[in-house]
């Protein structure tokens, strides 16, 4: 796929670092992405902000640029609707938050809310409100999430665990080890070596929704993935844990796999198995809220944000749903958009629609009884 985006810049900012992430932002009309890139359409010759209300183009016709100037230098002209995409005040807010994000990402240790507000010349309340409105997270939560992602990126190529620790922004070894196993799901030295000394037992099978891969670590289920190509699912598992010992199933694990497939076929059954949940504090709060949704019910991203006490964090909730590795066990398929649209499921919209249909059917039968 042709791209005009400066990936070195994306690595520095830590946001929208891949074409897939940028395209997802365009599909969501993500206003928070406006400060990071624009997209251009080869068939029309125009460029737009990610939040543009323009009709979505075909993916193969889209190029990404880190700035409007870069798009113009490549020969694209601004969309006629570009001026209406944002008011000048909204643009200034987006730029302020983008600058704050970059400063948080470079700072060591993470700056306090008071320091950030003073630096940008606004009150604490105003800065906190604007930052959460744009990113869906408080500055502190954003710093924690960025540090967790940076740790995952730094460990595999770092000469030592401690060098990765400092590069990721951890100044305290005790805090690092307290947080790292929760974030990584294993000891940092094992993650650094691609899962060496870690046994991952897995099985690939078929269910009515296509291919399914189920994997278990020493802690519990660490992956339930759906797809069309069984070999691709295995390849993805190998890429995620390149040095781990991948083992076939045994009698005990076969019963786990059967329970997972049974839940796919009959969603009302649920999964009563230990889960190895790996993610940031915010992601885990979202995932717990999803597990509290009864089968046959749905909630909006805004509903979940309200449940976890972060009503402004709608975008961050959507991102946490997209990061879920445990299909069905953590039922992110029960989250829909405010208008009832069911788009946005990492294992395919049709699978999401079918899971919701099955749960609705089960609920109807129970109601009749």
Q: How far is Cα 249 from Cα 203, in angstroms, rounded to an integer?
A: 6
Q: How far is Cα 165 from Cα 11, in angstroms, rounded to an integer?
A: 18
Q: How far is Cα 196 from Cα 220, in angstroms, rounded to an integer?
A: 18
Q: Is 48 a catalytic residue?
A: yes
Q: How far is Cα 19 from Cα 366, in angstroms, rounded to an integer?
A: 44
Q: How far is Cα 304 from Cα 272, in angstroms, rounded to an integer?
A: 23
The one-character DSSP state at 50 is T
End-to-end CA distance of the chain: give it in Å, rounded: 54
Active-site hit among 101, 263, 321, 332: 332
Is residue 99 a contact partner of residue 111, using CB atoms and an 8 Å limit?
no
Q: Is 41 helix (H, G, I), strand (E, B) or coil?
A: strand
- Exposed/middle/buried for residue 20 (C-beta within 10 Å: 0-12, 13-18, 19+): exposed
Q: Is 201 helix (H, G, I), strand (E, B) or coil?
A: strand
Q: Is 207 a catalytic residue?
A: no
Closest C-alpha among 150, 158, 161, 220 to residue 188: 161
Write out the catalytic residue numbers: 48, 332
């Amino acid at each position: 796929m042709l791209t005009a985006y400066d990936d070195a810049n994306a690595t520095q900012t830590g946001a929208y670092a891949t074409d897939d992430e940028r395209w997802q932002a365009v599909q969501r009309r993500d206003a928070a992405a406006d400060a990071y890139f624009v997209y251009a359409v080869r068939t029309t010759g125009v460029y737009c902000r990610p939040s543009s209300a323009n009709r979505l183009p075909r993916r193969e016709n889209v190029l990404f640029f880190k700035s409007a100037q870069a798009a113009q230098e490549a020969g694209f002209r601004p969309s006629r609707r570009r001026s209406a995409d944002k008011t000048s005040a909204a643009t200034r807010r987006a730029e302020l938050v983008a600058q704050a994000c970059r400063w948080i990402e470079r700072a060591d240790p993470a700056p306090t809310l008071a320091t950030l507000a003073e630096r940008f010349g606004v009150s604490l309340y105003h800065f906190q409100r604007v930052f959460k409105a744009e990113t869906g997270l408080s500055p502190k939560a954003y710093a924690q999430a960025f540090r967790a992602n940076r740790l995952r990126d730094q460990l595999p190529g770092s000469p030592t665990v401690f060098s990765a620790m400092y590069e990721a922004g951890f100044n305290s070894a005790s805090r690092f080890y307290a947080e790292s196993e929760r974030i990584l799901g294993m000891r940092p030295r094992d993650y650094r070596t691609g899962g060496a000394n870690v046994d991952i037992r897995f099985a690939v099978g078929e269910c009515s929704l296509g291919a399914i891969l189920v994997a278990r670590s020493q802690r519990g289920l660490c992956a339930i993935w759906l797809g069309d190509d069984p070999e691709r699912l295995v390849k993805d598992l190998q890429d995620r844990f390149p040095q781990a010992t991948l083992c076939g199933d045994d009698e005990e694990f076969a019963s786990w796999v059967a329970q997972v497939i049974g839940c796919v076929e009959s969603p009302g059954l649920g999964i009563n198995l230990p889960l190895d949940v790996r993610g940031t504090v915010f992601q885990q709060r979202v995932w717990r809220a999803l597990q509290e949704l009864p089968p046959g019910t749905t909630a909006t991203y805004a509903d979940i944000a309200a449940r976890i006490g972060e009503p402004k964090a709608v975008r961050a909730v959507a991102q946490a749903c997209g990061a879920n590795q445990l299909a069905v066990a953590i039922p992110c398929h029960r989250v829909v958009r405010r208008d009832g649209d069911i788009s946005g499921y990492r294992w395919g919209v049709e699978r999401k629609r079918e899971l919701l249909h099955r749960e609705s059917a089960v609920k109807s039968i129970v109601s009749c009884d």
